[in-house]
Every structure is written in structure tokens, then in C-alpha cells.
Amino acid sequence: MDVLSSDEIMRMRAFLEDGMPGYLAILDEMIAINSFTGNASGVNRLGTYTSALFGRLGFEEEFVPSAHETECGAHLILMRTGTSDIRIGCVSHLDTVFTEEEEHENDFSFRVEGDRVYGPGTVDIKGGTLVMLMMLEALRAVAPRFYGAVSWVLLFDATEETESDDFGALCVERIGRAGTACLVFEGGHTRAGVFRLVTARKGRAVFKIVATGKGAHAGVSHREGSNAIVQLAEAVLRVSGLTDYEQDLTVNIGCIDGGTVVNRVAHRAEAECEMRAFTNAALEHGLKGLAAIHGMSTVSSADGEYRCGTSVRVLRKNPAWQENEASQRLLGYYRRAAEMMDMAAEPEARGGLSDGNFTWRSVPTIDGLGPEGANEHCSERNSGEGKDQEYALISSFVPKALLSAIAVCLIAEEVQ
């Protein structure tokens, strides 16, 4: 195989630019399908629509029930067998965080304003799916020798916004530990001609703190009560103090609930929290500190008859995607691809999670390959309050699709 010529790169760019009106029409149709994680029928409709899009490129579909199949839609896998041993996985997801009611309430739908295309999922992640499609169509049209050589595995998570571990295992299984690369199409930033590509992400532990106390009448028998909310407050302060910015370890107290009515000493209170770190060692260090708070009892009733209790339970752990040689090697291909576009590419470590957190140990993984945009997970629009809805930059779609198309050719040439 010969690497792409400058003429082929120019023809790819022209192919993508000429196709942008049609691609935006596809994005419009995708956004019109509400695919909130809990809207199983909507997620499945988007899966069927997505399958049809890639079906015209020769991909065969398979729907795999998620671990939450009674409440959520099915994962989608699309496969096309190539002529070589090169095997590349491409990852996106079907679900968004917006309910139909929220979209209607905020008049949040597809619209174009200048270089911005607004709508639920424009960046996270329907726009990323579109970039994936554009990359594949450009390869098939201009560099069919590379397109046909690769065995493609496209994987679409039905429950990414709830971070389903089962999909991560599915990616590793279907791409295979001998897979050449895993490309994740979450949104990515470009600054001053430099693509910022994700090569590491924080891991996360979600946990719950529960404080138990003794209920009592707040006026008649206050001395006999032991307030669980006060105990929880002390535990929360201790937990929050585990944040260590030098280790990039952060703790966030997300939700608190406790008590029933104001004239009753609270007998129970709880908080849902999370902890994040860029290394699993730092995350484990934080969890050890968390374990020390389990069993904490510092609040008692005034009569000394009852002491509050505290329990801490870890609900889920997502491993950190740590800096590693395989992702850096993959970044090297993208750097060469960017140079061929008279641009540059640099690594970025990102605090949020993606499905790449589950694949990087088994398959060389890179992320941030989707379009540039902003305001992910925001449906509100109020300029007076500084609020704006999620959008993607139309001008970013062609460069990001072209970047991955060139990088795939470089990868395929070297592996072959």
C-alpha cells in the first residue's frame, strides 16, 4: 500500500465539503429522534436509523441487549470484514441526557445559526457518529484500498450516559485484544490549528454515605434525639477534605437528602458523591481515606443514650484511563496526519469519562475525534443568565473527519 498523496487528501477534503449539506440533513434527522437513556424505544429507533446509514457502506448489524435491557435500549454493533489483519474499532453512543419533555420545554431542537448547529447530541455524541460516517465515506470514495483492507467494528453504546460496564467489555470482546486501534468519537477541541486529542481520562468511584440517628419530637424530647443530618454533615466535611489537587484527586458531594419534617429530629440522612483521579493509584488512595470514615460516630443524643452511625458504600468504580505507550503511539499517527493537513495534534488528559476508559488496557485507544462544540448536557438558553444550548461548530466536521481518514491510512500502511 502507498500512503495518501496530496492529491488524494485534496479530493477527500473536497468530497467531504461537497457533502456537508447532506451530512447536516442526516444530523437533523438523528437529532429529531429523542434518545434519552431511559427512552428505550427512542434509543432503539436511533440504532435502527444508524444501522441503515452505515448499511449502505456494507456494514452488517447486530443488536445486543444492555445490562439494563428492561429499562434501556440495545447496544448496536456494525461490522465489515476487510482483506487484511488490520482491525479498527470505532466507538460512539446512541443515548443522550435529554428527555423529550426537557427538549420541548426549552425549544431545544436542530437549528443552524452561523457556524453553530444546535440540538441535543450535536457534540455528545450524534455529531461524533456523523464524523465517523464522514470518515468512512471519504475513505471508500477516495482511498478504497485502505477502506477495503480494514476489518471495521463500529460500536454504539445504548447507555453511555449511565456508564454501563457491560458495553466496555463488549468493545474489548468484539474489537479483540489483538485489535489495531480503538477510535472514540466523543467531541474534541481544536485551538489555533492544533487538534487536542484525548489520550487519558480520569477514573471515577461513585459512593453513598448514610447516617443513621434517632428520631424524636423536636420540641418535647429534643434531648433524646440524635440528628442524622448533623452526623452526615460532619462526615461530608471529612469526605470533601479528601480532595488533593496535587494528585488530581477530587471529591464532589453531589446530592444530599435527609429527615422528613421540621418538627422531628432527623433519624436518617444520606449523600451521593463521587471521587475522580487520573491514576488508579490515586483513586485507591482516596478510597482508603473513604473507608476510614465508614463507622464514624461523632454525634450523640444530649442524654447520652444514643450515638449516630455512619456507613459508606462504593456503588461503582470506573478505572482511570492512564497515560500509556499504546495511546501515545496512536497519537503519533494522528500527529503525522495533522501535519499532512498543515496542522498539529497534541495530547489532552480529560476529567470526564468515556468508553475509552474500558478499552485502553486491551486495545490502543484515542478519543476526542468528534466535532468541536460547547455546552454539552445543557438544554437551556438564556443570554441574560449566560446560558446557551449544546452546539457543534459546522466548520469542525470536515477537518475532524479528514484527520481520522488520513490517520487510518497511515496506521493501515504501517501495519500492513
- Per-residue pLDDT tens over the stretch 351-399: 999 999 999 999 999 999 999 999 999 999 998 999 999 999 999 999 9
* Pairwise CA distance, residues 373 & 116, whole Å: 8
| Mean pLDDT along residues 195-220 | 97
Q: Where are the beta strands (DSSP E) in 67-147?
A: 74-80, 87-93, 111-113, 116-118
* Pairwise CA distance, residues 403 & 66, whole Å: 32
* Pairwise CA distance, residues 174 & 77, whole Å: 9
Give the alpha-carbon dihedral of 342, 347, 351, 352, to 10 degrees: 60
**242: pLDDT strictly greater than 90:** yes
**1: pLDDT strictly greater than 50:** no
Q: Cα separations (Å) of 24 from 20, 48, 104, 198, 381?
A: 6, 19, 21, 25, 22
Q: Which residues contact 408 (CB under 8 A, 6 or more apart)?
A: 88, 135, 139, 146, 150, 183
Preceding omega of 125 cis (within 30 degrees of 0): yes
Q: Where are the beta strands (DSSP E) in 213-308?
A: 216-217, 250-258, 264-265, 268-277
Is residue 250 very low, low, confident or very high in pLDDT (cuts 50, 70, 90)?
Answer: very high
Quote the pLDDT of residue 96.
Answer: 97
41: exposed, middle or buried (Cβ count in 10 Å: 0-12, 13-18, 19+): exposed
Q: Which amino acid is at 87?
A: R
For domain 6-202+321-415, give the fold. Aminopeptidase (3.40.630)
Is residue 164 very low, low, confident or very high in pLDDT (cuts 50, 70, 90)?
Answer: confident
Q: Phi and psi dihedrals of 331, rounded to 5? A: -60, -35
193: exposed, middle or buried (Cβ count in 10 Å: 0-12, 13-18, 19+): exposed
Quote the pLDDT of residue 2.
Answer: 56
Taking only the tens place, the pLDDT of each residue in 334-354 is: 999 999 999 999 999 999 999
**327: pLDDT strictly greater than 80:** yes
Taking only the tens place, the pLDDT of each residue in 105-146 is: 999 999 999 999 999 999 999 999 999 999 999 999 999 999
Sheet holding 391-393, edge to edge: 111-113, 116-118, 391-393, 373-374
Which range among 1-10, 249-258, 403-412 shows the weakest confidence by mean pLDDT? 1-10
The set of cell numbers assigned to 276 is 475522580
Tell me the CATH number of domain 203-318, given options 3.30.70.360, 1.25.40.10, 3.40.640.10, 1.10.1740.10. Answer: 3.30.70.360
Quote the pLDDT of residue 114.
Answer: 97
Closest CA to 235 of 302, 313, 306: 313
* Pairwise CA distance, residues 354 & 351, whole Å: 10
Residue with cell 434525639: 225
The set of cell numbers assigned to 106 is 426549552
* Pairwise CA distance, residues 261 & 266, whole Å: 8
Radius of gyration of the chain (CA): 24
Q: Cα separations (Å) of 71 from 45, 68, 164, 315, 331?
A: 15, 6, 13, 19, 37
Quote the pLDDT of residue 416.
Answer: 66
| Mean pLDDT along residues 46-74 | 96
**186: pLDDT strictly greater than 60:** yes
The set of cell numbers assigned to 216 is 424524636
Given a contact cutoff of 8 angstroms between Cβ atoms, the answer to whether 112 and 387 are in contact is no
Which helix (H) or strand (E) covers residue 9, if one does?
helix 6-31
Where do the domains of the chain lie?
6-202+321-415, 203-318
**For the chain, what is the largest distance between any 2 Cα atoms, rounded to a whole number of angstroms?**
87
* Pairwise CA distance, residues 255 & 242, whole Å: 17
Q: How many CA atoms lie within 13 A of 358 on its CB side?
A: 21
Quote the pLDDT of residue 177.
Answer: 86
Quote the pLDDT of residue 415.
Answer: 75
